[in-house]
Chain A
Amino acid sequence: MLPKSYLKFIAAYNVYESNLSSYAKIQALRFIEGEASESQLKIFINEGKIRNVADGEIISEILPVIVAAAIVAAAAALGKIAYQKVIMNAVKECSQLKGDDKKRCVRDYKTKANYAKLTALKKEMVKCNQTNNVKKCRNMFIKHMRKIEQKIQKDRVT
């Protein structure tokens, strides 16, 4: 059984990575941090919705999804670390340049950083084999990776 603090972490990470507007994110995080019960957190991770639920309701049904979400969230956190490492190098390298060269340098490093994130996620996807619902877990990873690929594409265009 996962502790409530860990559920909060997963839910908060899902909100952080979501496409919600900034104030919607603030509201969702307030719910997670403040009033959400354990069951409500599980529902929120599973459905992305805030609902009234009695404790003990449908917990066993959604547990595999939560385990999958936990793996994805942990992998995403590792991806973030890999991303930050590359960006730190960018700060050193690009700060000496100016104008268009600087812009190009930052864009290239951003792409590299996103690729590092992708690699980290791909490595962690193996852990899905340990879950009860491998397909669901893999889909969550794929969804996450697609978002990063879209970012890479966007950076290439601009």
Chain B
Amino acid sequence: MDTNRMKLGLVYIFSENDKISKKAKLQLINFIEHADENQLKVLAMDGELVPKHVFDEQATEIVNDRFSTMPHITESLKKASFKAITSIKK
């Protein structure tokens, strides 16, 4: 799954969440916009905002391995990104 699609999926999931305030949503969207693949994966798996510098080679490998064992997250992101695209078209 490519980074842009993940970004789209995550933005859609957070923007649809009624429990998050508008300001918090803006902060999240801003984070997602500048995030790299590792940061997006951790956000999707753990709901955590992590700075880029914590990801060394070992942490990146473990994050990738964890992500690959969670196909349901990839599936949810794909669905969300698809919904985002179709809602834009409407």
Which A residues are closer than 8 A to B by beta carbons?
Answer: 20-21, 23-24, 27-28, 30-31, 35, 40, 49-52
Contacts and interface: CB of A to CB of B under 8 A. Distances in A.
| Most chain B CB within a 10 A radius of its CB, from A21, A23, A35 | A23
Contacts of A21: 56, 58-59
Kindly state the interface size class of chain B when it binds its partner: 10 to 19
Nearest to B63: A27
A24 B56 contact: yes
Nearest to B42: A27
Contact of A50 (B42, B46, B54, B66): B66
B65 A50 contact: yes
B76 to A, nearest CB: 15
B69 A50 contact: yes
A40 B54 contact: no
Between A27, A40, A50, the greatest number of chain B beta carbons within 10 A of the residue's beta carbon is seen for A27
